[in-house]
Amino acid sequence: MSTIKHIRLTIFQMDQKEFAKAVGVNQSTVSKWERGATLTLKNVVGLRRAAIDLGLPWSDELLFSEPDTTRIRRQELELEARKKRDELEAKMKTIRPLQDSLRAVEAELEALG
């Protein structure tokens, strides 16, 4: 697990797209970092600034620490679960009116005998 992925998941708690936007780079750049590409000084400054602007805990030492892979996996799963819950909630908003409409039709059918 890369250090940048560790920072993205545990500190920022964002997917690659959200993280890239926060740091001011393209998602492909984040992907390259996570595969081992080196960050420039400008990238490090942008990363630090994004964390500070978002009120996140930051220390430059994070860039040099060994990531905790179990914690990272937990963060990945929590992020995925949050996105799936959000997606499900959005779909339920469209389903609920259909359910109500179906119940009304069924009630009318039952009333007619």
Q: What is the pLDDT of residue 23?
A: 96
Q: What is the pLDDT of residue 38?
A: 92
With contact defined as beta carbons under 8 Å apart, do 60 and 52 qualify? Answer: no
The verdict on domain 3-82 having CATH code 1.10.260 is yes
With contact defined as beta carbons under 8 Å apart, do 83 and 76 qualify? Answer: no
Interval 7-15 mean pLDDT = 92
pLDDT one-digit tens code per residue, 16-29: 999 999 999 999 99
Q: What is the pLDDT of residue 85?
A: 94
pLDDT one-digit tens code per residue, 42-98: 999 999 999 999 999 998 888 887 777 777 788 888 888 999 999 999 999 989 899
